[in-house]
């Protein structure tokens, strides 16, 4: 009797493997995309991201941003930022709604921007932290997609404060803990495969 049960179990297991392979061949799930965040681009920050499929419902998104520009009157939002994120997709990867868990690290040199309260002062330092995000991905064609995402979390900022944009003595050296928005994006995506 145990040989008969073992034989049935082996047959069911083999049938399940064959069915899973057939389903995998029948459905197309993208595995790799490159992207750019149009919101960051609007702030003169060139950026590029890549997203890898890890499983049918998990992806790893890694974005990098770099702003080297200095504007008139010593206005600047110079920085570089890297932000990896593990995403869980509610439907299937690269389709529909997702939740993410992200980390971030940046170095910055910002100042002279009145709207940010930085008229006549400059901050230089680094930050690190993490957060959670939600988003939605729309498939436009086999190769093109667009997604929106927003996230909130924590960042620890270490900084030096200066009186003017390019000169001046250091006024303060300190750190700050920040809780609030940590991510926002409207991403244009090209699926490589």
> Which pTM was predicted?
0.80
Confidence of residue 154 (pLDDT cuts 50, 70, 90): very high
Q: What's the pLDDT tens digit per position in 44-88?
A: 999 999 999 999 999 999 999 999 988 887 788 899 999 999 999
Domain that holds residue 86: 28-191
Q: How confident is the model at residue 180 (pLDDT cuts 50, 70, 90)?
A: very high
> pLDDT tens digit string along 95-119?
999 999 999 999 999 888 776 667 7
Ordered DSSP codes for 67-94: E--B-GGG-EEEEEEEEEEEEEESSBTT
Where residue 48 sits, what CATH number does that domain have? 2.40.160
Would you say residue 16 lies in a domain? no
CB-count burial class (<10 Å; 0-12, 13-18, 19+) for 74: middle
Per the CB < 8 A criterion, the answer to whether 179 and 154 are in contact is: yes
Structural domains counted in the chain? 1
* 150, pLDDT greater than 90: yes
Residue 2 falls inside a structural domain: no
């Amino acid at each position: 009797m145990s040989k008969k049960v073992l034989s049935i179990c082996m047959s069911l297991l083999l049938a399940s493997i064959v069915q899973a392979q057939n389903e995998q061949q029948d459905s197309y799930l993208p595995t790799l995309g490159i992207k750019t965040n149009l919101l960051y681009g609007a702030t003169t920050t060139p950026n590029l991201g890549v997203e890898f499929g890890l499983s049918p419902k998990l992806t790893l998104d890694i974005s990098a941003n770099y702003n080297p520009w200095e504007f008139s009157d010593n206005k600047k939002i110079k920085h570089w930022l890297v932000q990896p994120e593990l995403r869980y997709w509610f439907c299937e990867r690269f389709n529909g709604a997702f939740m993410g868990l992200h980390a971030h690290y940046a170095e910055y040199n910002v100042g002279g921007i009145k709207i940010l309260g930085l008229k006549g002062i400059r901050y230089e330092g680094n930050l690190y932290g993490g957060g959670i995000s939600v988003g939605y991905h729309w498939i436009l064609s086999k190769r093109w997609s667009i997604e929106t995402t927003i996230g909130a979390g924590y960042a620890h900022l270490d900084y030096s404060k200066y009186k003017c944009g390019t000169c001046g003595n250091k006024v303060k050296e300190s750190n700050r803990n920040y809780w609030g928005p940590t991510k926002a994006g409207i991403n244009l995506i090209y699926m490589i495969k």
